[in-house]
Structure 1
Amino acid sequence: MSLIEILGAILSALAVWLTSRRSMICWPVSLAAAGLYCWVFLKARLYADAGLQIAFCLYVVYGWRHWHRMERPDGRIRVRRPTRRTLLNGLLCGAAGSAVWAFVLARFTNDPMPVTDATLTAYSILAQGWDTMRYRETWVLWIVVNSAYVALFISRGLYPTAVLYAGFVLLAANGYRLWKPAPSAAP
């Protein structure tokens, strides 16, 4: 446990809470948290998760701009409904990305859990993409992914991060409750 990990955990929790509230300030807070966690995961030899933080930084920039264009006068963001095909294609891309990334990690790194690391990373990227597109289903995927992350982080001795991700599960359930698409929202 380090001060960087604790600060990253606090900022990450705040970012998810702000996202569930559809607040634009979630993006700069997310950027700071991702930067801190990139360092934490590199030190823990969770290379896919470190790379994921870099991907999150790119998503933050995109999401920040995208959400800003979709902001309503009350400051909230409209939630969208994806098609079933969009959801299925996303899940299949997550599986393919997981397989490729697991191969790379197993072959070229000393990652102690390459398949788990790769799978959770691939589906985290998908969930973040759905978040930037304002799909309510992002929260369901985050519940599944973050539940699995809790076990991974406990196994790596990252206890503050495991507690954070357990909290993320609760925040994701609340996000799902709060993100109700408008009846006329189109995909």
Structure 2
Amino acid sequence: MDIATWFDINNTLVNIPIGSGYALSWVEAFGTLAGLLCIWFASQEKTINYLFGLINVTLFAIIFYQIQLYGLLMLQLFFFAANVYGWYAWTRPQQETGELLKVRWLSTTKLGVTVVIAVAAILWLTPNIYPVFTALAQAAVDGINMLGGNLSMPQIEPNAFPFLDSVVTVLSVVAQILMTRKYVENWFLWVLINIISVGIYAAQGVYAMSIQYCILLFIAANGARQWMNTAKSNDSHPAGAKA
């Protein structure tokens, strides 16, 4: 088996008796496992989550390209960089205090700014997601070819779920940034993202990912509970709440 064949979503690891049957590919299986380990270790505030995160986003980028979820494909490039930064941020002592980052809540001002930016980004991206990611896909192909590749531009189909894909894309970016800075609110966003993702992947026929996000939903809810308790012990409280 060559490398290209291993990454093909049609290269089946096992057939799962879901509905009329679902062929789980090797790349999807390993990507799913890495994703579960990543989010579990993150909920435990363990820095090793970023190692599994890097594996997860790399494999999922390959999958998303093949099933033409272009918003989520390009999102993986951001996730890769965010995982690298998060690994650095979680292990680097803060200049102000000399201590590592602590779990805490967003301030009222930061929360307001975050909400406004997220809503504005969703409203802009929804009608523009097809031309935006078509242009990004072309840029990626051109960049690889400049490095000696011999790729042709794939046939780009209109995004299957422009609004939901935009919501997931924007909120995932926001949630990942908040996680790298250890803000509790990231877990509430992941809960919402996971709920939407279950439906998207099921509709696309990628059932293993749909099941994965069901599991991630419960992990995210548990992560929120644990980080809320940790923030309280760090004397940090939700915006607007009395200490």
Q: TM-score of the superposition, structure 2-length normalised?
A: 0.70
| Contact 2:101–2:181 (CA under 8 A) maintained in structure 1 | no
Match of 2:193 among 145, 159, 162: 145
| Contact 1:154–1:162 (CA under 8 A) maintained in structure 2 | yes
- Specify the SS of the correspondent of 2:221: helix
- Residue 77 of structure 1, CA deviation: 5.7
Match of 1:82 among 102, 106, 111: 106
Deviates more, 1:106-115 or 1:34-43: 106-115
Gaps (5+ residues) in structure 1? none
Larger Rg: 2
Gaps (5+ residues) in structure 2? 1-23, 95-99, 135-156
What is the letter of the counterpart of residue 85 of structure 2?
A: Y
**Match of 1:157?**
205
Match of 1:13 among 36, 40, 43: 36
Q: Where do 1:100-111 residues align within 5 Å?
A: 100-107=124-131, 108=134, 110-111=158-159
- Kindly indicate which of the two structures has a greater share of residues assigned to helix: 1
Distance 1:42 1:185, change over 3 A: same
| Contact 1:46–1:111 (CA under 8 A) maintained in structure 2 | yes
- Residue 56 of structure 1, CA deviation: 0.5
Aligned length: 183
**Match of 2:7?**
none
Q: Where do 1:1-187 residues align within 5 Å?
A: 1-70=24-93, 78-107=102-131, 108=134, 110-179=158-227, 180-181=230-231, 182-185=233-236
- Specify the SS of the correspondent of 2:46: coil
Deviates more, 1:84-93 or 1:144-153: 84-93
- Residue 156 of structure 1, CA deviation: 0.6
| Contact 2:103–2:234 (CA under 8 A) maintained in structure 1 | no
**CA root-mean-square deviation:** 2.0
Deviates more, 1:48-57 or 1:76-85: 76-85
> Which one has more relative contact order, counting CA pairs under 8 Å at least 6 apart?
1
Question: Could you tell me how far apart the structure 2 residues matched to 1:112 and 1:185 are?
Answer: 41
Question: Could you tell me how far apart the structure 2 residues matched to 1:45 and 1:88 are?
Answer: 34
Q: TM-score of the superposition, structure 1-length normalised?
A: 0.90
Question: Could you tell me how far apart the structure 1 residues matched to 2:176 and 2:33 are?
Answer: 19
